[in-house]
Amino acid sequence: MRLFLMLVLVGCGVWAQTQDYDDYDADGKKASASNSSATVDARGHRPLVKGREIYLTNRYNPSISSSGGRYQGRPGTTTVTGPQEQEKGEQPETGGCTHAMEEMGVLCPNGCELKTMIQKQEKNVKTSIGELRPQVNELARESNNIFNYVNSMSNNLRERQRVLSENSNIVGQYTDRVEEHHAYIKETVDTLLPSNIKVLQGVLDKIRLKIQKLEKAIQTQTESCQEPCRTKCPVPVVSGKECEDIFRRGGLDSQMYLVRPDPLLPAYKVYCDQTTQNGGWLVIQNRMDGSVDFGRRWDDYRKGFGNVALEVGKGYCETPGEYWLGNDKITQLSKMGPTELLVEMEDWTGAKVHAHYQQFAVQGDLTNYVLAVDRYSGTAGNCFLEGSTELFGINRTMTIHNGMMFSTYDRDNDNWNPGDPSKQCSREDGGGWWYNRCHSANPNGRYYMGGAYTRDMARHGTDDGMVWMNWKGSWYSLKAISMKVRPFFQSR
């Protein structure tokens, strides 16, 4: 009896070792008695082939500080009896065509670039003139040769006429032929050649006129560049450490502001959303029309790129542009204290959803800007922490973004065989991001008009659009998406 019980226990142990923990097959589909269930058509992951590739779990378990808040609750509003005047200080972008600091970017176009373009056109015109000059000289030499030939023929004709006076009957026919040749040559020299020369002279005159106009334009632009540039997008007087600080200082309008989180570093421009959910949001990423290419290198994402804000006739920059604030700046903002993140998105029918994370942090460049988020709420779906809900098992966990390092096409830090250039998420999916293997959210992907797109439209046959899989799936590219951060405090 004891021997029988031991055999039963050994058999159960062997059976248990043959079962998968998640009960999923190699393709990530849950095993069932029938194979009639349809597979999910999702490209937020990469196919896993047993024995060939190994999925790497998150290499970091980032921690997020939730204590030591930067702010207490906002002070109550007070009644203002009259307009308050704010002392205006000199802003760092006054004067010149560009800022004194490279990080501040270009203020406004005033034609400085036109000078270079005109000089290039002048160079092309001079090249054309150089090509025409030897042709005109050759034509002049030929006309001189013909002229000398005609003179020689005229002299011969006069000599023949003197001889023919004595022997006119014999030379009469020959003289007629000579006169015919003389008339033809003279007509050619008097009509055709001058006509061609006049055409060439007309061309040269037009070229000279164009050169004169270009020289005048260059002179005008040179004089214009000597004067200070006047921007149509003034920076508000109020500024602060970030947008919450600006809100508390009276900057209640949503527009472009100057912020300076670190007093030892230069200030820089950002767009502050002062209306959404009580304001105080600093926009770190914005996509709305595809006007800015987000397929950028590592250094571009580190420093930031794009257009912070636009002016559409109100005298200040009240419309956010397309831009990425920069990983160094995002890290600096999140290290100041507890920070929350709001991701807002819109589809091509006008429907809007959001994803809110009460805890958000990005580590420094030494860790390749590891992402850490927690405490989700919202209507878009929790892509950062849960991955794509369309997928199962390992195919789902490989789409989680929390704990991932930042990757660009020239700096591969994703979880899909790191270091293998043939398996690189950023190169296939269109932008820099915290790719796993590869994504459930791709806000910095390629911009597709209209929403739905296909593998044939994608450059590498992958879901490289502005994707948020838990809302619209892999093959729908959003119309707009923005990411905003602000200090987190309980009594907001």
Residue 2 within a domain:
no
Residue 397 within a domain:
yes
| Domain match, 450 and 336 both | yes
Residue 38 within a domain:
no
| Domain match, 309 and 238 both | yes
Q: State the total domains in the chain.
A: 2
Per-residue pLDDT tens over the stretch 140-175:
787 788 778 778 887 887 777 777 676 666 666 777
Q: Specify the amino acid at residue 8.
A: V
Instruction: Identify the domain boundary among 195, 225, 255.
Output: 225
| Domain match, 175 and 142 both | yes
What number of CA atoms fall less than 13 Å from residue 47's CA on the CB side?
6
What is the distance between the alpha carbons of residues 189 and 250, in angstroms, rounded to a whole number? 86
Domain extent at residue 151: 112-225
| Domain match, 243 and 138 both | no
| Domain match, 161 and 245 both | no
pTM reported for the whole predicted model: 0.62
| Domain match, 389 and 404 both | yes
Per-residue pLDDT of the chain (492 residues; tens, 9 = 90+): 454 445 544 454 444 443 433 333 333 333 333 333 444 455 545 555 544 556 666 666 666 766 567 787 776 654 444 444 444 444 444 444 444 445 544 444 445 555 666 666 677 777 877 887 888 788 778 778 877 877 888 788 777 777 767 666 666 677 777 777 777 777 777 777 777 777 888 888 888 888 888 888 888 877 776 665 444 567 788 889 999 999 999 999 999 999 999 989 999 999 999 999 999 999 999 999 999 999 999 999 999 999 999 877 777 788 999 999 999 999 999 999 999 999 999 999 999 999 999 999 999 999 999 999 999 999 999 999 999 999 999 999 999 999 999 999 999 999 888 777 778 899 999 899 999 999 999 999 999 999 999 999 989 899 999 999 999 999 999 999 999 999 998 765
Pick from 302, 276, 205, 186: nearest CA to 484: 276
| Domain match, 270 and 383 both | yes
Residue 289 within a domain:
yes
Instruction: Identify the domain boundary among 225, 257, 292.
Output: 225
Give whole-number Cα distances, 339 to 254, 360, 361, in Å. 20, 5, 7
| Domain match, 181 and 257 both | no
Q: What are phi and psi of 447, to 5 degrees?
A: -95, 115
Residue 303 within a domain:
yes
What is the distance between the alpha carbons of residues 434 and 406, in angstroms, rounded to a whole number? 4
What is the distance between the alpha carbons of residues 239 and 257, in angstroms, rounded to a whole number? 6
Q: Can you give the pLDDT at residue 233?
A: 67
| Domain match, 284 and 410 both | yes
Provide the CATH number for the domain around residue 465: 3.90.215.10
Contact 47, 29 (CB under 8 A): no
Whose tokens are 């013909």? That residue is 146
Residue 281 within a domain:
yes
Q: Strands, E, within 82-217: which ranges?
A: none
Q: What are phi and psi of 343, to 5 degrees?
A: -110, 115
Residue 335 within a domain:
yes
* H or E segment to which residue 214 belongs: helix 193-225
| Domain match, 295 and 385 both | yes
| Domain match, 368 and 457 both | yes
